[in-house]
Amino acid sequence: MKKIRITKKSINQIHKFTGIAVCIFLIHLSITGIFLNHTEDLGLDEKYTASPLVLALYNIAIPNKKESFVLDNRFISRFGNQVFIDNQPVIKNENPIIGAVFLNQMLVIAFPNKLILLTQKGELIEKITSASGMPVNIERLGSSGNRLYLKVSNQVWESIDQAQSWTATDLGFNSWSTEAGMPDEATKQIEVYFSGKGVSLEQFLLDLHNGNIFKGFGKWFLDIVGIFLLLLSISGFWIWIRRRR
């Protein structure tokens, strides 16, 4: 077996490499430590960041907008599986919103296989499904006066009793609910629902300082730094001994 030979050059290289690595880590500790030492002076506990990168480090995800409709300047939208009226969460549903209409002071939201009846404040009134005779695989939703209309496989269905019963009709109804875009301001208000204010700068710097921001890897990272400190100390002591001889 070939013997491992420890040379002065290899020890110097180890000392140099670990020294640079530890130096970078100490700079990181110094900078974050200085900021944390002046948290109150800088108001870091009152300042927040909603940077996508920072939110991702804290596993805070903002779902993408799926569908949105506008009724009398009110936005009905779905982000992920959460349905909103403006920025107010009302119900959860994995299926896409087919349409949304007002009917006799109620808000009706259609999904492929059910209707949700809500007050204009977003309070649940009733869920209508095929169990009440409603057709399924809804493609379009519309309303006119006190009548509600569904389009299913090129057939129009009509209800005159607030979705309690349905009959097929030959009426050439064509005033269907259609999707509409949301302004950036309305979208940002909903994003706040998922992210809150974001992450305080104090918490972010503290987690950056102690390595917690890297979750499980942070513990291993500190172990590696500890090993580097040992190597730096041992190699430095070895170099010092060699120079003394």
Q: Which of 195, 210, 231 lies at the terminal end of a domain, its last residue?
A: 195
Q: What pLDDT was estimated at residue 75?
A: 94
Q: Which of 174, 195, 216 lies at the terminal end of a domain, its last residue?
A: 195
Q: What pLDDT was estimated at residue 29?
A: 77
Neighbours of 225 (CB within 10 A): 19
Number of domains in the chain: 2
**Cα–Cα distance, 88 to 76 (Å, whole number):** 9
* pLDDT band, residue 95 (cuts 50/70/90): very high
SS3 44: helix
Q: What pLDDT was estimated at residue 24?
A: 77
Q: What pLDDT was estimated at residue 215?
A: 66
* Distance between start and end Cα atoms, the chain: 30
Q: What is the CA radius of gyration of the chain?
A: 31
Q: What pLDDT was estimated at residue 137?
A: 93
Higher pLDDT, 221 or 139: 139
**Cα–Cα distance, 158 to 147 (Å, whole number):** 7
Q: At what angle do helices 8-37 and 216-244 cross, to 10 degrees?
A: 130
Whole-prediction pTM: 0.69
Mean pLDDT score of the chain, rounded to an integer? 84
pLDDT in tens, 222-239: 667 677 777 767 777 666
- Domain containing residue 116: 65-195
Residue 153: give its domain's CATH number: 2.130.10.10
Most confident of 26-40, 41-55, 81-95, 206-220: 81-95
* Among 122, 120, 111, 123, CA closest to 163: 111
Q: Considering only 49-58, 131-140, 188-197, which range has the smallest mean pLDDT? A: 49-58
Instruction: Indicate if 183 and 107 belong to the same structural domain.
Output: yes
* Among 127, 129, 106, 107, CA closest to 116: 127
Instruction: Indicate if 34 and 116 belong to the same structural domain.
Output: no
State what percent of residues in the chain have pLDDT above 70.
Answer: 86
Instruction: Indicate if 37 and 109 belong to the same structural domain.
Output: no
Beta strand residue intervals within the chain, DSSP E: 48-49, 65-71, 74-79, 82-85, 88-92, 99-103, 106-111, 114-119, 124-128, 140-144, 147-152, 155-159, 167-169, 199-200
Q: Which of 177, 195, 213 lies at the terminal end of a domain, its last residue?
A: 195
pLDDT in tens, 103-145: 988 999 999 999 999 998 899 999 998 888 899 899 999 998 8
Higher pLDDT, 12 or 109: 109
Cross-strand pairs, 89? 84
